[in-house]
Structure 1
Amino acid sequence: MRKVKEVIKKIFNCSVEEFYSLLNISLQKKFKYFGKQIETCAILNAKSGRCSSDCKFCAQSAKFGLRIKTYPLLEEKKLLGAAFSAFEKGIDRFSFVTSGISLSNEELKIIGKVVEKIKSLNSKAKLCASLGQLKKEQLCFLKECGLDRYHHNLETSREFYPKITTKQKWNDRVKTVKLAKEVGFSVCCGGIFGLGESEEDVISIIETWKELQVDSIPVNFLHPIKGTSFENANFLTPLKCLRILTAIRIAIPEAEIRICGGREYNLKELQPLGLFPANALMVGNYLTTKGRSLKDDAEMIKDLGFESNLRI
């Protein structure tokens, strides 16, 4: 781990000239494990708002009382329609995401039924879910229904986490990730940067992902939302975002790295360079903020000389 720390520190503190050499190294590592293909994924906010947690960056927390769309778990027809619509556009993965610390067994049964229906019609569909902190038997149920991947973020480092939220414990998040791996899921586990975390915090969470051997790392960058505790946050620059992505790739070369929420707001004109270290991209809209058009993302991937399955 000492070597990993030294490499990450170098990435964060070296000159721009040296950094771009390291960025090229991250690209070569990406090519080695993933080639030119950029995997795309999309999410559906399947249950929105009224979350009892108090994450300081999240518009869905009931703590802030923001005027966002709030609704219970969507009906089966809408869940199915959103998934099939994404696959028709050539999006590789689709995920159901719900607000709240966990789901009830009744809600879980609805998700499971939808997964079974999709798989019965398209056995090759890559289906994911982000449903909070589930028990082992609940995860086993989803696995039996045909779900391919379970997503659960750590958000930030163990050390910085108490400054971000108090309702959910960091160790419980890690437990969920370990349980998902135990029942045989491919696991997607990432976090959000731009909360005021230190360089040591970035190193810490990267080390945790490496220790947990997660399959996919979704990287979010804070998009400040008015009314939340971080509405005036200004901790990131496009180059700093690029350094973070590069550090993750060089430290964990074999993991999928997908750029997710906040990329448009934070990477700005450097978005194409983000696909040097990253091999995957979340496309479409996010939970409470809008994303780019599929056309723009497809063109960006093509212009870089990379490949995707997007159909526009």
Structure 2
Amino acid sequence: MLMIRSLRTQLGPWASRASFSTSAAAVEAERTIRDGYRNDWSKEEIKSIYDSPILDLVFHGAQVHRHVHKFREVQQCTLLSIKTGGCSEDCSYCPQSSRYDTGLKAQRLMNKVCCTLGMLEKQQALELKKAGLTAYNHNLDTSREHYPNIITTRTYDERLETLQYVREAGISVCSGGIIGLGEAEEDRVGLLHTLATLPNHPESVPINALVAVKGTPLQDQKPVEIWEMIRMIATARIVMPKAMVRLSAGRVKFSIPEQALCFLAGANSIFTGDKLLTTPNNDFDADQLMFKILGLTPKSPSFSEEIPVPESERCEEAVYVAG
């Protein structure tokens, strides 16, 4: 306290009280560490965390992460597309939509995977559970308010209903979103608020940066900056402490130091392999080098079987393999 008072004295009129106030990230991280899981977050609470000074946000995201997880462990997952292109949906970011001319050639469904894809009815979810499905990915993509600007062929409530059926069937939920879709910061907060106030938090929360693909309506979107990813990751870590927060699509654009900040802020899962279905990703050797430089260790898989995923990170049909 003596040091702070002395510094205030030296700075004189330039030292506002706000400069030395405790950030919301600090307050809420401490409460998360003390009280654990909660799903009664207000949108204002999450916004105050998201708006905290970036260094505070990284530090306190790291505090929560180290309290709940083995902080050097990072889960490595891969995606295998079982049906490429020819999708009837109109997701504005997706090169696989048949409505856009992206130069992608549609392929038939692979013979090696048989699963129900896309929206689920209750009975379908139960049948998938009976067949041995352990996890299901179904991203919300963005906030409820911005969603109609991105997708019109399926509703936000239908997505939430699918997550409900998956959860009720006893299947783990993987659900996150994409930033860089032309949304406002309020929409990013809204997405996190929706996820964090589900009856149970998703076991996995992918945070994707838009990979703008020529031929899609979002081809000219401004690239996502690393600070935007860090804010999303650290806020997600504080409000959903037990979730695997996955640094997902768009990672290929970020350097090793930039990715290191994401891991420090609370990310503990990545997709590995030189291609994420139809878009580029960091290759295996590059990731191995990064793990060595940063002292990261692969997280032991919680399951070894292949897991059918209906939407992956961009609504494509895929198999998700955790390892």
What TM-score, normalized to structure 1?
0.76
Quote the residue 2:305 is aligned against. none
Quote the residue 1:307 is aligned against. 297
Quote the residue 1:290 is aligned against. 280
Structure 1: tracts of 5 or more residues without a match = 80-109, 113-130
Q: C-alpha displacement at 1:235, in angstroms?
A: 5.3
Provide closer, same or farther for how the CA distance between residues 30 and 2 of structure 1 changes in structure 2, counting only shifts above 3 A.
closer
Q: CA RMSD in A?
A: 2.0
Quote the residue 1:61 is aligned against. 97
Matched, 1:157 2:129: no
Q: Residues 125-274 of structure 1 correspond to what in structure 2 (within 5 A)?
A: 131-212=117-198, 213-234=201-222, 236-265=224-253, 269-274=257-262
User: Would you tell me which structure has more helix in proportion to its own residues?
Assistant: 1
Q: C-alpha displacement at 1:65, in angstroms?
A: 2.6
* Aligned partner of residue 38 in structure 1, secondary structure: strand
Structure 2: tracts of 5 or more residues without a match = 1-39, 301-323
Quote the residue 2:59 is aligned against. 24
Contact 2:49 2:235 in 1 (8 A): no
Aligned-residue identity in percent: 33
Q: 2-side partners of 1:209 and 1:10: how far apart? A: 15
Provide closer, same or farther for how the CA distance between residues 51 and 218 of structure 1 changes in structure 2, counting only shifts above 3 A.
same
Contact 1:220 1:259 in 2 (8 A): yes
* Aligned partner of residue 197 in structure 2, secondary structure: helix
Q: Residue 111 of structure 2: which of 75, 92, 96 is its match?
A: 75
CA shift digits 1:129-188 (9 cap, x unpaired):
xx2112222222221121210110111110110011100111000000010000000100
Q: C-alpha displacement at 1:66, in angstroms?
A: 2.0
Q: C-alpha displacement at 1:28, in angstroms?
A: 2.1
Quote the residue 1:121 is aligned against. none
Contact 2:136 2:172 in 1 (8 A): yes
Q: 1-side partners of 2:59 and 2:80: how far apart? A: 34
Q: 2-side partners of 1:273 and 1:298: how far apart? A: 17
Quote the residue 1:42 is aligned against. 78
* Aligned partner of residue 64 in structure 1, secondary structure: coil
Contact 1:236 1:266 in 2 (8 A): no
**Structure 2 counterpart of 1:27, one-letter code:** A
Q: 2-side partners of 1:270 and 1:154: how far apart? A: 26
Quote the residue 1:102 is aligned against. none
What TM-score, normalized to structure 2?
0.74
* Aligned partner of residue 275 in structure 1, secondary structure: helix
CA shift digits 1:187-228 (9 cap, x unpaired):
001111101111111111111111222111011110111111
* Aligned partner of residue 166 in structure 2, secondary structure: helix
Contact 1:264 1:271 in 2 (8 A): no
Q: C-alpha displacement at 1:268, in angstroms?
A: 7.3
Q: 2-side partners of 1:31 and 1:43: how far apart? A: 28
Provide closer, same or farther for how the CA distance between residues 298 and 279 of structure 1 changes in structure 2, counting only shifts above 3 A.
same
Contact 1:48 1:72 in 2 (8 A): yes
Q: C-alpha displacement at 1:305, in angstroms?
A: 2.4
**Structure 2 counterpart of 1:291, one-letter code:** N
CA shift digits 1:63-119 (9 cap, x unpaired):
11321131121122xx5xxxxxxxxxxxxxxxxxxxxxxxxxxxxxx248xxxxxxx
Q: C-alpha displacement at 1:295, in angstroms?
A: 2.1
With a CA cutoff of 8 Å and minimum separation of 6, indicate the structure with the bigger relative contact order.
2
Q: 2-side partners of 1:215 and 1:28: how far apart? A: 19
Provide closer, same or farther for how the CA distance between residues 281 and 229 of structure 1 changes in structure 2, counting only shifts above 3 A.
same
Larger radius of gyration: 2
Q: C-alpha displacement at 1:3, in angstroms?
A: 6.1
Provide closer, same or farther for how the CA distance between residues 302 and 268 of structure 1 changes in structure 2, counting only shifts above 3 A.
closer
Quote the residue 1:84 is aligned against. none
